[in-house]
Amino acid sequence: MTKAALPTRSRIIETGTNLLSTSGLSGITLGTLAERTGMSKSGLFAHFGSKEEVQLSLLEHTAQIAAEHVVAPAMRAAEGLPRLKALFRNWLGWTARAGLAGGCPIAAGIFELDDTEGPVREQLLQMEKSWRALLAQHVAQAVDLGHLRRDLDIEQFVWELCGIYLSHHAFLRFVRDPRADKRARIAFDALLGRALPKDAKKKKKAALRRIR
């Protein structure tokens, strides 16, 4: 289905999500969106009553796209550590694979709305909490399966994992460092290395000695 053939609301959401990924939440105005979709402001008001309603709808759509391109493919991997690795691999640079024009709207929004209050910030916060809960769930599963050590501080692991992602976002989108992906993978491997059971670490070292 071409963009022209899309239902009007769907076309607004699709155009707005691309704008959100390049310009952030502050770049979403009824005037800009009307111009991008070739509509009038009154036409937009027929579908969305306010800029805030548009922003909330775009965040919801962003979550759906992320679930499709990050979470769903990872669920095909084996439970535990393989699935956790797949989640992280899919998470890095997911907007490009999803066909969005810019970076992660959620990561950008965390910095953009850090000092504000209101429904848009609250929705973004709930999205971030839900994502961290999902990561914690799969880290805990890896612990239960013996892939990660039993005494692992899961909250700390997720905290550091999200820190790697946010640093990757900043270096990829703002610094434009071509080594951002490589740096993130190195950091993730180091995080995993500290979380492996002792016997797994020994096996890994023995394997490395054999290779050398």
| Whole-number Å distance between alpha carbons of 199 and 183 | 27
CATH number for 59-211 (one of 2.40.30.260, 3.30.379.10, 3.40.50.970, 1.10.357.10): it is 1.10.357.10
* Local confidence band at 208 (pLDDT 50, 70, 90 cut-offs): very low
Residue 58 CB contacts under 8 Å (≥ 6 apart), including other chains: 13, 16, 17, 20, 28, 105
pLDDT per residue over 122-180, tens digit each? 999 999 999 999 999 999 999 999 999 999 999 999 999 999 999 999 999 999 999 99
| Whole-number Å distance between alpha carbons of 212 and 203 | 14
Element (H, E) at 194: helix 180-195
* Local confidence band at 198 (pLDDT 50, 70, 90 cut-offs): confident
How confident is the model at residue 205, as a pLDDT? 54
* Local confidence band at 43 (pLDDT 50, 70, 90 cut-offs): confident
Q: Please report, for the chain, the start and end positions of each structural domain, with discontinuous segments joined by +.
A: 59-211
DSSP string, 47-59: T-SSHHHHHHHHH
pTM over 0.85: yes
* Local confidence band at 202 (pLDDT 50, 70, 90 cut-offs): low
Residue 38 has pLDDT above 70, yes or no: yes
Residue 200 has pLDDT above 80, yes or no: no
pLDDT per residue over 86-113, tens digit each? 999 999 999 999 999 999 999 999 999 9
How confident is the model at residue 42, as a pLDDT? 84
Burial of 187 (0-12, 13-18, 19+ CB in 10 A): middle
Residue 212 has pLDDT above 90, yes or no: no
| Whole-number Å distance between alpha carbons of 82 and 125 | 28
Burial of 62 (0-12, 13-18, 19+ CB in 10 A): buried
pLDDT per residue over 46-84, tens digit each? 888 888 999 999 999 999 999 999 999 999 999 999 999
* Local confidence band at 2 (pLDDT 50, 70, 90 cut-offs): very low
Mean pLDDT of 185-201: 91
